[in-house]
Amino acid sequence: MTSQTSRAVVISKPGGPEVLELRQQEVGEPGAGEVRVRHAVCGLNYIDVYQRTGLYPLEMPHALGMEASGTVEAVGDGVTHLAVGDRVAYAAMPPGAYCDVRVMPAAQVCPLPDALSFEEGAAIMLQGMTVEYLFHRTYPIAKGEKVLFHAAAGGVGLLACQWAKSEGIELIGTASTDEKCELARAHGAAHVINYRTENFVERVSEITNGKGVDVVMDGVGKDTFDASLDCLKPLGIMMSFGNASGPVPPVSLLTLAAKGSLKVARTTLFTYTADPERCQDMARHVLGKVVSGDVKVKIGQRFPLEQVADAHRALEARETIGSTVLTL
């Protein structure tokens, strides 16, 4: 049995970016069903903030990070879909991706096509598979249907804009600045709304001739949820998949009835990827979209691992555009 050391970002208590600590930790050999992966690039996602602040509680102390790309260094017994030397990427539990090398369960670690860079792999997995399940698994969206997508210039949003365009879905994107609106439009949004200068409920009504949209996809949470219900057509579905502005308060089922027999789904990626076969299928779908050129990965920011606190601050201040990666 051999071991090596790795830098890893760990928190000992919930809190602000200042609780993020860069430590040295030992890394051993993979056991049954595990692999050891040497990372090339790590991804940054809003779920990392939720875990750091305690909104999504973790046992302490705990390493952070849900996404990375790299190379398989060692394979434990029973792992058949990966081999030493394979290029891989993942978005997977448990947290711990903010590091140089780690041992982790192999089931959700996915082959990375040679056509894609490690940066692309680290930036696309969590956000890309989120878009994949929103468009294909929560409610299969048909060509010609209309979707309202909040924070359309963020990492998930820019992927959603491209995904929608590639499948003939009319996406209305909201963003906080004119610059971000134009970025969403350039990535495939059919319509854009600056929610700081326009009433998005009124604009959605204008765009849809008063009919409303089939689907709202909302990772913002508290600030946009109630008004978003007013953007849905009867029998429409609200997909709430994040809480960037805070958790959504309790909603009365009678409100949903009164607004048109609406449906609400509160989803999380890791419910979908818990099944290894489905996870690998989702990853192939996402990575195939990138290889084909239907979806391009926009990396707007790069931070060295030792500046992870600054990366968190930028993400929470909504100063980021597209995806953010941590370089090693």
Amino acid at 150: H
pLDDT at 322: 82
**pLDDT for residue 320:** 86
* pLDDT for residue 128 is more than 80: yes
At residue 245 the predicted structure's pLDDT band, cuts being 50, 70 and 90, is confident
Domains and CATH numbers, the chain: 4-126+270-327 (3.90.180.10), 139-266 (3.40.50.720)
CA quadruple 174, 289, 113, 77: dihedral positive or negative? positive
Residue 68 pLDDT > 60, yes or no? yes
| pLDDT for res 1 | 53
Both tokens assigned to 107: 């089931």
185, 192 in Cβ contact below 8 A?
yes
Q: Over the stretch 154-193, which tens digit does the pLDDT of each residue have?
A: 889 999 999 999 999 999 999 999 999 999 999 999 999 9
Burial of 3 (0-12, 13-18, 19+ CB in 10 A): exposed
In this structure, the strands spanning 213-218 and 299-304 are unpaired
Which pLDDT belongs to residue 2?
64
Contacts by 249-252 with C-beta closer than 8 Å and gap 24+?
249/222, 251/225
Q: Which tokens hold the place of 201?
A: 């409920």
